[in-house]
Amino acid sequence: DLLNCNQGRKLHGMSNANADIGYADNSDEWRCSSTTVMGAVLLSMGLSALATGPLWYLSSIKYGKRTTWLLSSVLMLVSVFLFLAIGKGDVDAAIFLAAVPGAVLGNFYLSDAILADIIEYEEYLSGQRAEATFIMAKSAIGKLLAIPAAALPLALLESYGYQSSEGGSFPV
């Protein structure tokens, strides 16, 4: 049973105090607050990352850092597309599916471990340490990729049916 919080009509079981904001008098009213739902989604991701961190560590020992990192990258790519399966108002699915990319984020340490190996190997080959160069490059590449990662979704919002609110109310 999906909630429809933004229709502007009184729902069955609503008191007059809650009629203006569209909350029903039940325990599901938190589902109509985007801030609360986002908090629940982020909590699901965080707990999943904490729970799977040791599993990623064991995987990197058994299969190697490179293989584990490649596997986690593929899983992250797949998990992003899982969010397309979430329908409007399907808060439970959003919270449940948020655990999948959260589980992938449990290996956040792995890229730094691989970078440390690269720095050591570069020293072995050249006889000189170049930590600053590698760390600066990692930071710069991340920042350069963040620009299109933030701009492209904003540019595509309207083509996917986004309607901006005017005065705090949505068109019906």
Which of these, 36, 21, 29, lies nearest to 3 by C-alpha position? 29
Model confidence at 19, in pLDDT bands (50, 70, 90)?
A: very low
Which of these, 112, 113, 111, 133, lies nearest to 122 by C-alpha position? 133
- Tokens coding 143: 């920042």
pLDDT at 171 over 70: no
pLDDT at 48 over 90: yes
Give the C-alpha separation, 57 to 75, whole Å: 16
Give the C-alpha separation, 100 to 96, whole Å: 8
Please identify which residue in the block is written with the tokens 């933030």. Answer: 150
- Model confidence over 5-18: pLDDT tens digits? 655 444 444 444 44
Model confidence at 59, in pLDDT bands (50, 70, 90)?
A: very high
- Model confidence over 116-169: pLDDT tens digits? 999 999 999 999 988 999 999 989 998 999 999 889 888 888 788 777 766 555
- What is the model's pLDDT at position 27? 60
- What is the model's pLDDT at position 10? 42
Model confidence at 22, in pLDDT bands (50, 70, 90)?
A: very low
- For the segment 58-68, the average pLDDT, to the nearest whole number, is 95
pLDDT at 90 over 70: yes
Task: Assign 169 to helix, strand or coil.
Answer: strand
- Tokens coding 79: 């998990």
Give the C-alpha separation, 115 to 36, whole Å: 37
Q: Is 138 exposed, middle or buried (0-12, 13-18, 19+ CB in 10 A)?
A: middle
- DSSP class of residue 7 equals S
